[in-house]
């Protein structure tokens, strides 16, 4: 092997913007095109908004206005405004900002002075204006380079900061903003900051009851008892048990940051709830029986929080100020006192909780034998050799910046899984092969997950039997044929997830792989089309009588072609649920008994394969 040279020329120094643009994953996680809630364009948006929220938390400004139009984001707050002499420095000099002064920003979200600089560096255009005490200062940048700086000018505007940016489309390819993701972001800010009004494209978001409002908005179906809502200094929680959940579901926050992967505060909450309930009832309940079907939200405020990544999705802080109290004792002491008091004052709620725990215990014991056999079957099936072609990086591998790109493709049949397996990125992409159509599990109990071989092996592959915190892949992608059978398998898999693991869907881990319906080519060029409109455009571009192929199944796409569809240009359609919809009602409509209402819907919306073939012929 030839040795590469290593000398003075090998050592390079990058300025702040070059470093961010060269290694964007270090600052904003993954890039993406906006089809996933954790894609980079939303991180840019959040980093900008976090500064506004920090102002509100300091008692300055109770309204934030956001406008997203034609790929451009503008944010206006009514806080104190950036000190006018530091407007340029704050958005373009690393390690510059007010958050290093812990008196000015005691419990802010961002503390490393990088956030707004990352937005600036990764934007095609970036404008910042600060209004302060009757004066205004403006600066304009292009990909982090200052192109215009105004002098101080008089202004009649209220104090505050205005930032406008357009994400760089050479970094975020073909990006688009999904309203549902921005809507959830606005609601999270409102729930965590009672009294704050968020405005997105004219729509207002405001909460007066904090985390109680959050649970009421996110829970679908029946709950066993009224939501328990407890607030203290620097901590707030809300919790109940649901009739429609088979697992635990948590919404956890630190200083207003949604920690989707939990962390020390969520772990402390889970432990403290079990301990308090055990002591209240004076019974040694199994922790899984206490927490099964629980839906809860917990928010803490701490000084200088330590997150396990720049995207701040998991809290790593073990100690919290003041006094260096541990997170475990901080959360535990609050829950022990406040939850115990609540249960004594509300005996009906206490009775409902005990009845639920007893029912969970009974079901767990009934399932214990089945679970043991299921685990043995999973081992005998040689899961990791036959059903699952695993990848090298997993979601919990904090050492690897690619973990947010970890994906498992759930395929039907050996031909489709074979094509993907041959062309996938072995570092981040895994493949799970289904055998035939899955069972329609609507209305069935949890034991079907263990008794059904496909569900048992899929659950084991995802590693979600005990807790969704152990999920091994960020993207759970359903990859089925674009025909009637493929759509049916897709519905059956979605029913499985919604029935037993709904927060997998709610947290946007479940997605649909989009593969082209048509290939249009001539001797010089090949175009892949994902819709009939794209097919028509391709025909117009390539000229008369190009060769047109209609792909009827994933197995028909060769591995050489498949690499185009699961690589950097992969199209993943998120599975989004209307927050107002009841999951059980939705499943009953689509997967329950064949009602007259559903028959009429199918007849009205039926489009048979013959229609598609005729369209291609034209």
**What confidence score (pLDDT) does residue 37 get?**
82
As a whole number of angstroms, the distance between CA 445 and CA 246 comes to 9
Q: State which H helix or E strand residue 353 sits in.
A: helix 347-380
pLDDT at 531: 86
Domain ranges of the chain: 16-205, 211-358, 381-515+551-582
Q: Strands 135-142 and 123-132: what pairing?
A: antiparallel
Given a contact cutoff of 8 angstroms between Cβ atoms, the answer to whether 189 and 153 are in contact is no
Count Cβ atoms below 10 Å from residue 138 Cβ, excluding itself.
19
Task: Determine the pLDDT at residue 105.
Answer: 44
CATH architecture for the domain at 211-358: 2-Layer Sandwich (3.30)
Residue 177's nearest CA partner among 279, 47, 85, 45 is 45
DSSP string across 26-37: HHHS----SSST
Residue of 549, 558, 497, 474 whose CA lies nearest to 518: 549
Per-residue pLDDT at 57: 81
Q: What's the confidence (pLDDT) of residue 203?
A: 95
The per-residue DSSP string of 64-131 comes to: EEEEEETTEEEEEE-SS---GGGHHHHHHSTT-SGGGSTTTSTT-S--SS-HHHHHHHTEEEEEEEEE
Q: What are the distances in angstroms from CA 370 to CA 359, 461, 464, 499? A: 17, 18, 17, 19
Q: What pLDDT is stored for residue 75 in this prediction?
A: 96
The pLDDT of residue 198: 96
Q: What one-character-per-residue DSSP string does 223-259 give?
A: BSSPPEEEEETTEEEEEEEBSS-SS-EEEEEETTEE-
CATH number assigned to the domain covering 16-205? 3.30.565.10
Judge if 16-205 and 211-358 fold alike in CATH terms: no
pLDDT (0 to 100) of residue 111: 40
Beta-carbon count within 10 A of 237 CB:
26
- Tell me the whole-structure pTM to 2 decimals: 0.77
So what CATH class is 381-515+551-582?
alpha beta
Low-confidence ranges of the chain (pLDDT < 70): 1-14, 16, 95-114, 305-313, 316-317, 320-323, 374-386, 398-401, 578-585, 589, 594-595, 605-618
Dihedral pair phi/psi, residue 199, rounded to 5°: -125, 120
Predicted local distance difference test score (pLDDT) of residue 109: 53
């Amino acid at each position: 092997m030839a040795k590469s040279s290593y000398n003075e020329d090998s050592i390079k120094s990058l300025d702040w913007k070059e470093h961010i643009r060269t290694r964007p994953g270090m600052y904003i996680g993954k890039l993406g095109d906006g089809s996933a809630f954790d894609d980079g364009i939303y991180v840019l948006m959040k980093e900008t908004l976090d500064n506004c929220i920090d102002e509100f938390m300091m008692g300055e400004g109770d309204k934030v206005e956001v406008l997203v139009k034609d790929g451009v984001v503008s944010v206006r707050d009514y806080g104190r405004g950036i000190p006018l002499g530091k407007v340029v420095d704050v958005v373009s000099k690393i390690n510059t900002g007010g958050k290093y002064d812990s008196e000015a920003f005691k419990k802010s979200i961002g503390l490393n002075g990088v956030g707004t600089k990352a937005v600036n560096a990764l934007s095609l255009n970036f404008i910042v204006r600060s209004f302060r005490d009757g004066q205004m200062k403006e600066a304009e940048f292009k990909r982090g380079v200052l192109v215009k700086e105004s002098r101080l000018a008089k202004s009649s505007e209220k104090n505050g900061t205005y930032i406008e940016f357009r994400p760089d489309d050479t970094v975020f390819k073909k990006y688009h903003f999904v309203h549902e993701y921005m809507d959830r972001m606005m609601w999270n800010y409102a729930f965590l900051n009672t009294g704050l009004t968020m405005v997105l494209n004219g729509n207002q978001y405001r909460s007066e009851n904090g985390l109680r409002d959050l649970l009421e908005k996110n829970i679908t179906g029946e709950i066993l008892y009224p939501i328990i809502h407890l607030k203290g200094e620097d901590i707030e929680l809300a919790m109940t048990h649901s009739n429609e959940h088979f697992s635990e579901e948590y919404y956890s926050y630190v200083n207003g940051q949604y920690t989707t992967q939990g962390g020390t505060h969520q772990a402390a909450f889970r432990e403290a709830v079990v301990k308090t309930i055990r002591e209240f009832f004076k019974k040694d309940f199994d922790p899984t029986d206490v927490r099964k079907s629980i839906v809860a939200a917990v928010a803490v405020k701490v000084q200088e929080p330590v997150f396990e990544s720049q995207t701040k999705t998991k809290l790593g802080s073990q100690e919290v100020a003041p006094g260096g109290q541990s997170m475990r004792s901080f959360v535990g002491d609050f829950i022990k006192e406040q939850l115990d008091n609540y249960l004594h004052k509300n005996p009906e709620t206490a009775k409902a909780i005990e009845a639920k725990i007893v029912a969970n215990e009974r079901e767990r014991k009934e399932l214990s034998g089945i679970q043991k056999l299921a685990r043995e079957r999973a081992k005998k099936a040689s899961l990791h050799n036959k059903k699952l072609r695993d990848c090298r990086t997993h979601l919990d591998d904090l050492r690897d910046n690619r973990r947010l790109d970890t994906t498992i493709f759930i395929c039907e049949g050996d031909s489709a899984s074979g094509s993907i397996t041959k062309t996938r990125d072995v570092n981040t992409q895994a493949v799970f092969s289904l055998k035939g159509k899955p069972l329609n599990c609507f209305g069935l109990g949890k034991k079907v997950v263990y008794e059904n071989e496909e569900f048992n092996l899929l659950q084991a592959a995802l590693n979600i039997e005990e807790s969704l915190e152990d999920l091994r892949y960020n993207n759970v992608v359903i990859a089925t044929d674009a025909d009637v059978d493929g759509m049916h398998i897709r519905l059956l898999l979605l029913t499985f997830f919604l029935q037993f693991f709904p927060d997998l869907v709610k947290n946007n881990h479940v997605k649909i792989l989009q593969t082209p319906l048509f290939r249009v080519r001539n001797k010089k060029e090949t175009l892949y089309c994902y819709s009939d409109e794209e097919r028509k455009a391709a025909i117009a571009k390539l000229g008369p009588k190009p060769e047109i192929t209609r792909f009827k199944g994933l197995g028909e796409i060769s591995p050489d072609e498949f690499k185009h569809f699961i690589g950097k240009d992969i199209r993943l359609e998120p599975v989004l649920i209307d927050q107002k919809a009841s999951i059980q009602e939705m499943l009953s409509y689509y997967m329950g008994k064949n009602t007259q209402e559903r028959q009429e819907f199918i007849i009205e919306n039926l489009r048979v394969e013959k229609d598609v073939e005729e369209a291609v012929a034209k």
